Amino acid sequence: MQRFGRDSTLDQSFPRKLESTISRALATIQLSTIHTTMSAHAACICTGNQIRRRSPIQTPEIGISIRYLIVHAVSRESSARSFHRRPASNFWLGDTKPMDVSRRELLKMTSMLAGGALLPGFPYRGEATAQGNFTAEADLLVDYEIRIGASAVEIAHNRFISTTTYNGHFPGPLLRFKEGRQAIVDVVNETDTPEQLHWHGQRVPVDVDGAAEEGTPFIPAHGKRRIVFTPGPAGFRFYHTHNRAGADLAIGLYSGQVGPVYIEPKSEPGDYDREVFLTLKEFEPSFSRGGDMAMNFLLPANKTKALKEQGESAMKASLAKGMPHGFEVGYRSFTINGRMLGHGEPIRVKQAERVLFHVLNGSATEIRSLALPGHSFRVVALDGNPVPNPASVPVIWLGTAERVSAIVEMNHPGIWIMGDLADDDRRHGMGIVVEYAGRAGKPQWIAPSHSYWNYAGFGKHGANAPPPDETFEMIFVKENAAEEGFNRWTINGFAYPMGNEPAPPLFHLKSGRRYRIHMRNASDDIHPIHLHRHSFELTSLAGTPTSGVLKDVVMLGGYQEASVDFVADNSGLTLFHCHQQLHMDFGFMMLFDYL
C-alpha cells in the first residue's frame, strides 16, 4: 500500500505523537513571547461547544509551531469529538443547524475574537491581545473534510441504492476554492478499501494528485490523510476516486465517489445571474455484450482508412476464432445530481435570467448529451477553461469526465425537461425539470434535430498552435475479449499491468518543453482521453488543425486521429489514460516521467 514510502497519513498513533509533541512544546513555552491564553483561545475559536471546527493539526514531520500546539492542546478534545461527524466547512453556533461559513467570514470572526468581541460562552480573558498573524493561522484551517463511506442514496422517491459516497451524499459536496490560495482537505476513509481521491483537472504535485500509478499515497482503509495544496487552474474541476474497478462494478467510478470543484478565479467576469452545478451519473451497472452508445456526433467526422481496416480486421479475426464481443457496461438508473428525472427539485428560473450551468459527466463509462427544448447553450468554458470563442449550440456533449460550462438565457417560458438525447436513458432518469416562475403543467420534452459537436467551433479561428518541440506517436488498439472476456487495450502495443506492480513510463519529458501527442484510434469506440496534472491544447481533430481550446479530457472518435499539445511544467510521474473505466482498468493507461 505504501510502496512509495512517502505517506503523510495521519495514522492511528497520531494522537499519541501529538501529545508528546505538545508536551515538548509546553516545556519550552516560557521561552515563547506568545500570550498563551489569548492566542490559544483566539486562534482556535473552538472553545466549549459553541463553535467547532477541525483544529489545524500538523504532523510533527511537517513542523508545528508552538502556537498551534497550544491551540491544539486546548481544542483537541472537542475537535476529536467532532472529527468524524462534522464537515469541516460547517460550524455549529450552539444549535443543530449547520451553517456554511466561508473562509472570509471565518477570518472576520477570528479578527472579532482578536479584537475582543464575545461570542456566547466564549471564555475570553480580555487582557491579552492577539500576537502575530492570525491570517496565517486562518490559512491553516481545514477547508473541507471528505468522508468516504457506504451510504444509501435516494435516487427516486422511495428508491434507494447502496453505494460509496463522499459525506453520505451523491454527488459529493461542491468544493469551492480560491485560485492560488492554499487549501487543506482532510480525507477520511471509512471503508475497508484503501482509496485514492483524484483532483481531476488540477495542476497539483504527484503526492496530492490521487493516482496510485503516479505514487500518490493511498488514503488507508479506516484511516485518513490530510492534503495540502494550492488549487488551480481556476474553473470547473472535480474530484473522484481513482481506484481501478476491473470486474467489480461496486467500486471505482461505478460508485458514487464523484463531486464538483469550483476554483474561483482571481477576477470573475460574472456575465450571468446565477450558477447551477449538474453532475450526470448512472447507477446500478451490469455487464452486457455490446452497447448502444451514440457514436455519430463528433465533427470532423472523417475516419482514417488504415485505422478502420486495422480495427475491423482484428475484430473479424477474433470473432472468427469464436470469441464473443468483449463486455460492456449498462445501467439501470440515470440521475442528475443524484435524482432521476421527475424525482428531484426542479431548476426554478425566471424569464430573462441568465443561468450558468456547470455540467459534469461523472459517468464511469458513458458519453452524455444534454438539451433544453427551445433554448441554446452558450458554451463559455470546456473542462473549466474559458474558450477563445464562446458559441451557442442546441446540444452539449460530454465524454466521461468532461465538463461544459454554458450560459442559458431563459427566454422560452414553460416547464421543460432538460435531458439526454438518448430516449431510453432519459426515460430511466437522465434529465432534470426546468420550471419557469408562474408556469405549471407537465414537463415537456422536444427532441432537437440531429446535432454535432465540434470542439474546434469554440477555438481560435484562423490561428495555428505553435509547433511542438517533440511529437509522441500513439496508437490505441482493442484486443477483443482478450482479458477474461473483457477487451484488452494497448497503447503502442503495451497494456498497462492489471495488477498493482508499477509500470515503466513509456515517454519521457523535459521541463519547459512543449510536446504533441498524436493519437491514432484503431478501434470503433470513442475514447475520452485524459492527461493528469497538466492541461492540453487541442491542435488537430481528424486531420484538421485547431488551436486555443484547453482541456484535460478529449473525446477521440472511432478510427479517428487527434493531436493535443502540452507544456511539461509540472514534474513527476504523469498518468495518461482513457477515462472510460472499463478501458483504463484493462490496459488503456501509460505514464510519462520527467527526466
Which residues are near Cu ion by CB under 5 A?
A: 527, 578, 580, 583
- Least distance in angstroms from the C-beta of 251 to Cu ion: 19
Beta bridge partners of 576: 531, 590
Q: At what angle do helices 66-82 and 36-44 cross, to 10 degrees?
A: 40
- Least distance in angstroms from the C-beta of 503 to Cu ion: 17
- Least distance in angstroms from the C-beta of 536 to Cu ion: 17
Looking at the Cβ atoms of 403 and 527, the one nearer to Cu ion is 527
- Least distance in angstroms from the C-beta of 144 to Cu ion: 31
Q: At what angle do helices 36-44 and 103-114 cross, to 10 degrees?
A: 160
The DSSP-derived string for 444-475 is: B--PPPP--B-GGGGS-TT-PPPPPSEEEEEE
505: left (phi over 0), alpha (psi -120 to 50) or beta: beta
Angle at 484 between CA 481 and CA 489, to 5 degrees: 50
The cell for 107 is 477570518
Looking at the Cβ atoms of 81 and 289, the one nearer to Cu ion is 289
Looking at the Cβ atoms of 51 and 491, the one nearer to Cu ion is 491
Closest residue to Cu ion, based on beta-carbon distance: 578
- Least distance in angstroms from the C-beta of 580 to Cu ion: 4
Structural contact between residues 278 and 358, judged by C-beta atoms closer than 8 angstroms: yes
Looking at the Cβ atoms of 365 and 539, the one nearer to Cu ion is 365
Give the closest residue to 274 by CA, choosing from 176, 410, 179: 410
- Least distance in angstroms from the C-beta of 570 to Cu ion: 24
3-state secondary structure string, 143-210? CEEEEEEEEEEEEECCEEEEEEEECCECCCCCEEEECCCCEEEEEEECCCCCECEEEECCCCCHHHHC
| The one-letter amino acid at 546 | T
- Least distance in angstroms from the C-beta of 28 to Cu ion: 57
| The one-letter amino acid at 267 | S
Give the closest residue to 258 by CA, choosing from 236, 274, 280: 280
| The one-letter amino acid at 332 | R
Backbone φ and ψ for 77, nearest 5 degrees, come out as: -65, -50
- Least distance in angstroms from the C-beta of 482 to Cu ion: 15
Structural contact between residues 476 and 491, judged by C-beta atoms closer than 8 angstroms: yes
Say how far apart CA 503 and CA 39 lie, in whole Å.
50
Structural contact between residues 226 and 208, judged by C-beta atoms closer than 8 angstroms: no
Q: H or E element: which one contains 310?
A: helix 305-320
- Least distance in angstroms from the C-beta of 400 to Cu ion: 8
- Least distance in angstroms from the C-beta of 577 to Cu ion: 8
Looking at the Cβ atoms of 419 and 557, the one nearer to Cu ion is 557
Looking at the Cβ atoms of 156 and 506, the one nearer to Cu ion is 506
Say how far apart CA 417 and CA 371 lie, in whole Å.
8
Looking at the Cβ atoms of 308 and 343, the one nearer to Cu ion is 308
- Least distance in angstroms from the C-beta of 284 to Cu ion: 22
- Least distance in angstroms from the C-beta of 318 to Cu ion: 18
Looking at the Cβ atoms of 574 and 580, the one nearer to Cu ion is 580
Looking at the Cβ atoms of 237 and 527, the one nearer to Cu ion is 527
Under 8 Å CB-to-CB from 321, ≥6 apart: which residues?
none
Looking at the Cβ atoms of 47 and 580, the one nearer to Cu ion is 580
Say how far apart CA 462 and CA 236 lie, in whole Å.
27
- Around Cβ 63, how many Cβ atoms within 10 Å? 8
- Least distance in angstroms from the C-beta of 13 to Cu ion: 42
Give the closest residue to 150 by CA, choosing from 130, 166, 131, 132: 166
Looking at the Cβ atoms of 244 and 583, the one nearer to Cu ion is 583
Angle at 275 between CA 273 and CA 277, to 5 degrees: 165
Say how far apart CA 246 and CA 585 lie, in whole Å.
5
CB-hemisphere CA count at 13 Å for 464?
6
Angle at 210 between CA 86 and CA 168, to 5 degrees: 30
Looking at the Cβ atoms of 362 and 548, the one nearer to Cu ion is 362
Looking at the Cβ atoms of 46 and 401, the one nearer to Cu ion is 401
- Least distance in angstroms from the C-beta of 528 to Cu ion: 7
Looking at the Cβ atoms of 105 and 292, the one nearer to Cu ion is 292
